[in-house]
Amino acid sequence: MTAKHLAIATEGETPLRLRWINVAFFGIIHALALLAPWFFSWSALGLLLFLHWLFGSIGICLGYHRLLSHKSFQVPKWLEYAIAFIGALALQGGPIFWVGGHRQHHAHTEDIQLDPYSAKRGFWWSHMLWIFYPREEFFEDEKYQKSAPDLARQPFYRWLDRYFLLLQIPLGLLLYALGGWSFVIYGMFVRAVLLWHCTWFVNSATHMWGYRTFDADDNARNLWWVSIVTYGEGWHNNHHTYPHVAKAGFQWWEIDVTWWSIKLLQTLGLAKKVILPPSPTTTQG
């Protein structure tokens, strides 16, 4: 492994400190996910796939990302809150933290100091080390709230941002009641680990490999296999070129499962002001 892939500090920067509580938390969840072979059942596997889609595509991709971060469409407030609640269950942080960090990423893409998960620090930094070596400007609530003031003003989002982790308790109890430890292992731990890495691949892999349709100022790329596991988020060159567009896959072969959900909401009259790619990249969904 080269130094390039482990470049977690820059010259003149305050030395980054490993936060062991973060390492322990993610390490324990990963370890518990390894129990999966001893608790396998087809129903648990089906639950894993459903929750990966529900929390990942609906909660994170559609909710945290395209709806809250970029405002690429609008839904009634009750539905917005419901989708954000689903996103909080994904165990990827509260909505203000997630949105604030993502907006900083777009405002300063790949800047070593200002992008929370800059790919110029190397693959492993942008994939997960940025969480293990947290910088206060991205992890202290008073600071990341400045990048998401629209959410920080709302009591519901402040509550969700503070207590999202505790939501795993009722979720775990519900899963245990429905299917015992098999549902808990697959529905919580295996699901969390798979969804973490799928999401992190957008920060890491799609800034290193893939093709570029647009000559953007950053190195974001379209990577098909990341798009498959993230329900369309891997068409990253498209997204960075038109970040406020609700649709990530512009060509017919660029499958964007999350867009299908947005299109369904639009058909039902629940999604309004849906922003589409400008002509001639607009395609029929």
Listed residue (13, 27, 218, 5) closest to 135, CA to CA: 13
Query: Residue 201 in contact with residue 226, Cβ under 8 Å?
Result: yes
Write the CA distances from 257 to 3, 62, 224, integer angstroms.
Answer: 36, 10, 13
Q: Which residues of 83-101 are buried (b: 16+ CB within 10 A; e: fewer)?
A: bbbbbbbbbbbbbbbbbbb
CA distance 111 to 105: 8
pLDDT confidence of residue 175: 98
pLDDT averaged over every residue in the chain: 93
pTM here is: 0.92
Place 279 in a pLDDT band, splitting at 50, 70 and 90.
Answer: confident
- Least confident range from 26-30, 67-71, 138-142, 150-154: namely 138-142
Residues 6+ apart with CB under 8 A from 9: 15, 16
CA distance 63 to 53: 12
Q: Render pLDDT for 242-260 as a digit per residue (tens, 0 to 9).
A: 999 999 999 999 999 999 9
CA distance 243 to 222: 14
Mean pLDDT of 144-164: 96
Q: Report the residue count for the chain.
A: 285
**12 Ramachandran zone, left/alpha/beta (phi>0; psi -120 to 50):** left
Question: pLDDT higher for 192 or 12?
Answer: 192
Mean pLDDT of 81-97: 97
Residue 12 has pLDDT above 70, yes or no: no
pLDDT confidence of residue 141: 85
CA distance 158 to 96: 7
Residue 93 has pLDDT above 80, yes or no: yes
Residue 199 has pLDDT above 70, yes or no: yes
pLDDT confidence of residue 1: 33
Domain ranges, ordered by start, for the chain: 18-267
Identity of residue 241:
T
A 10 A CB-CB count for 186 gives 28
Burial bucket for residue 285 (CB in 10 Å: 0-12, 13-18, 19+): middle
Mean pLDDT of 42-48: 98
Mean pLDDT of 158-183: 97
